[in-house]
């Protein structure tokens, strides 16, 4: 993949989650204007499922700002049961951390969440900038901790993603898993106005 991951021999990882995070951060972000990344941790009540959570995210931002954020959700276990981690990418010109706080507070008040936290990197309390390759590398390394095998439940489906992520991941695998970091450099050098994964890997 050409960049560091937050895993090692003592912290083995799940390749399918690493690949999905890679495509989300290096591929999907190139389709977005002004992307900023967030890490959200949630514990659902029995009135919420992953698909319902995704619908709440999409409906809120479509109504507020006329777009759908890009998202990946990963399930984990701990001593008190199941919880979820979410990589969420917003348009930084339209929405900030406060919008996530508002939405999750509302979901908790309405009995959908037991608890939640919006986690920011140590270097930026307002989320993770994704404007440069260095930013993308930093966000990717930070989020790859979630690919660890430890604490994953014994089930087939351990993650879910937005429709765009699912589609681009399928294309990326079909085309031999090209290096998206190199493709980003070519894309930037060409000053393209639209990122087309299928065209670049054809």
pLDDT per residue over 112-167, tens digit each? Answer: 999 999 998 888 888 999 999 899 999 999 999 888 888 787 777 899 999 999 99
- Indicate the burial class of 98 (C-beta count within 10 angstroms; 0-12, 13-18, 19 or more): exposed
CB-based contacts of 6, cutoff 8 Å, min separation 6: 141, 142, 143, 144, 145
The structure's pTM equals 0.85
Residue 124: both structure tokens together: 């930026």
Residue 135: both structure tokens together: 């930013």
Instruction: Write down the number of H helices and E strands in the chain.
Output: 7, 6
Helices (H), 11-122: 15-26, 50-65, 97-109
pLDDT at 152: 85
pLDDT at 2: 57
Residue 108: both structure tokens together: 């908790």
Calpha distance 2→10 (Å, rounded): 21
Calpha distance 191→143 (Å, rounded): 28
pLDDT at 83: 94
pLDDT at 16: 93
Q: Which domains does the chain have, with CATH numbers?
A: 15-192 (3.40.1310)
pLDDT at 18: 92
pLDDT at 79: 82
**CB 95, CB 45: distance < 8 Å:** no
Calpha distance 174→170 (Å, rounded): 6
**CB 187, CB 30: distance < 8 Å:** yes
What does pLDDT average to in each consecutive run of 10 residues of the chain (202 residues)?
A: 59 84 92 92 95 96 96 91 94 96 98 96 89 92 88 82 95 94 59 49 46
């Amino acid at each position: 993949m050409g960049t560091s991951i937050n895993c090692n021999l003592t912290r083995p990882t799940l390749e399918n989650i690493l690949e999905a995070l890679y495509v989300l951060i290096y591929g999907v972000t190139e389709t977005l204007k002004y992307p900023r990344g967030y890490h959200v941790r949630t514990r659902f009540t029995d009135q919420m499922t992953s698909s319902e959570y995704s619908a709440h995210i999409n409906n809120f931002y479509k109504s507020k700002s006329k777009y759908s954020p890009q998202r990946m959700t990963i399930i984990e276990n701990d001593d008190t049961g199941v919880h979820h981690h979410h990589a969420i990418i917003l348009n930084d010109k339209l929405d900030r951390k406060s919008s996530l706080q508002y939405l999750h507070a509302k979901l908790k008040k309405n009995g959908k969440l037991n608890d939640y936290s919006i986690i920011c990197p140590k270097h930026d309390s307002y989320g993770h900038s994704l404007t440069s390759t260095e930013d993308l590398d930093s966000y990717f390394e930070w989020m790859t901790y979630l690919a660890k095998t430890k604490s994953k439940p014994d089930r087939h489906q351990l993650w879910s993603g937005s429709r765009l992520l699912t589609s681009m991941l399928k294309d990326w695998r079909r085309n031999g898993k090209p290096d998206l970091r190199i493709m980003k450099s070519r894309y930037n050098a060409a000053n393209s106005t639209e990122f087309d994964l299928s065209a670049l890997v054809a």
